[in-house]
Structure 1
């Protein structure tokens, strides 16, 4: 039995809740995963998991073993990290998930610089606006917007993004320019954005001094999409009025495809974080990616602009 591999498989099953998920994320055949756990349980003479047709539950003995296994794997990874650092070459696979617009407009254009600095890091980039299960899907880190509630993960703020309200130039040619956000009710089509996970359409916010207004696109005319690049395309195509990040609208404003509405109104900044598991904290390749991400997102940070 490869005990180190068995430890990694055991930890992944405990965190993901399934043998199949562990096999998929570790890229190991499922029969191999089952055999490793059977051999590990035989070696330890304890039952690590309670298995049923519907779920896998960690036993009390498995919980105790899990915490010790985490420490052992962290120590081994730290040794590997120290060795890699001594040679100055972070290496290995790194799976990163990021939203569509952030990937296409910020991260990907800067990625050649990362590849030049760290040619031995194999970067796998998942691009979508879907909220991923960091542990269950075997993702090393995500760049995610909004407030964070999972205290079991480490989060570094990379930027706070500002918003604007925009419409396509073609759309506004046949309509009167609204002077107040409340004029959007009944008089304009709205382009909304809804969550891929919950289906909830996000509210549009407007603030000016003590005046605060909320508009729900779901209760108005228009369309809603669940992907940020498609949302911007909808605005440029003239489907209506919507709110998006200022950096996304910059090109459309410059070439005349978009016009900004209500520039004197604002909404709270949108925090953006890079999030990863505590077990990744000492990884040389993770530190390299986090430092690089902080560098490329700094120009978009309106909190310290």
Structure 2
């Protein structure tokens, strides 16, 4: 039995909580995965997995073995990457999940540079804003905006993006231009509101006042949960929006949108790369995180 291959199969079963999903992910027959684990358990003399009708979970011995397998496989990958004709040359598939607009503006246009540097790597890129379970979904790292909350992940902040409050020129012609925060409410201004697709919560407008954050909720005729819809509604004169400047840089430059309340701009939006602790030693993850850090740092 190939011990390293057995470790890889075992770790994927634990992460995906399924023999069939792990087999599909690794492109092997499900029977092969089942037979490999039976052999592995027989050789070790312990039961590694508990099987139910709904999912598979590790036993106490299985959890301990899983943690060691992850470290061993990362060490093997790092060691092998250090040899060869071209020096450190990570290879294989890397699964990443990128926030959609960040990917389109900054990452995707520069992928040619990444592959020129690492031709033996293959990227599987998911785009969106949904929360992913990195371990269960088999994702190696994600690029996200906002504050870091998941302490089980390793996070590296890679950019700080200026935010602006703006609306279309036609909107200001109709409703007037606010010059103070109080005028947002006293003059009856409207917003294109943004809500969380997971919780349904509306996000207020945030402003920095003497180092503190002041949040203001504005009424509006429409609420959306995607960046594309947010911009489209703003372009159609439906209200004020608040978002990172890069989203509207071209509109601001040509005068289609106008920024207001610059003296109270929100705090910059943080951009971070997150990845599971057990994958931090992987050469594939390391080189991608280093590259995307360079990309985002240059852009911010």
TM-score, length-scaled by structure 1? 0.87
Which range moved further: 248-257 or 110-119? 110-119
Contact 2:213 2:266 in 1 (8 A): no
- Seen in structure 2, the aligned counterparts of structure 1 residues 27 and 271 have a Cα distance that, compared at 3 Å, is farther
- Seen in structure 2, the aligned counterparts of structure 1 residues 63 and 286 have a Cα distance that, compared at 3 Å, is closer
Residues 139-191 of structure 1, C-alpha deviation per residue, up to 9 Å, x if partnerless?
Answer: 11111122223333221110112211011223323221122334434823312
User: Structure 1: which 5+ residue stretches go unaligned?
Assistant: none
CA–CA distance in structure 2, aligned partners of residues 283 and 84 of structure 1: 17
Match of 1:213 in 2: 214
Contact 1:193 1:226 in 2 (8 A): yes
Residues matched between the structures, number: 299
- Seen in structure 2, the aligned counterparts of structure 1 residues 123 and 212 have a Cα distance that, compared at 3 Å, is closer
- Seen in structure 2, the aligned counterparts of structure 1 residues 71 and 104 have a Cα distance that, compared at 3 Å, is closer
Match of 1:198 in 2: 199
Match of 2:225 in 1: 226
Q: Tell me the secondary structure at the aligned position of residue 157 of structure 2.
A: strand
TM-score, length-scaled by structure 2? 0.89
CA–CA distance in structure 1, aligned partners of residues 34 and 45 of structure 2: 16
Match of 2:3 in 1: 3
Q: CA RMSD in A?
A: 2.4
- Seen in structure 2, the aligned counterparts of structure 1 residues 238 and 148 have a Cα distance that, compared at 3 Å, is same
- Seen in structure 2, the aligned counterparts of structure 1 residues 283 and 181 have a Cα distance that, compared at 3 Å, is same
Contact 1:81 1:282 in 2 (8 A): no
Contact 1:168 1:235 in 2 (8 A): yes
Q: For residues 1-305 of structure 1, what are the structure 2 equivalents within 5 Å?
A: 1-83=1-83, 87-185=87-185, 187-209=188-210, 212-216=213-217, 220-301=219-300
In the TM superposition, what is the alpha-carbon distance from 1:85 to its structure 2 partner? Answer: 8.6
Which range moved further: 3-12 or 122-131? 3-12
- Seen in structure 2, the aligned counterparts of structure 1 residues 280 and 66 have a Cα distance that, compared at 3 Å, is closer
CA–CA distance in structure 2, aligned partners of residues 12 and 116 of structure 1: 30
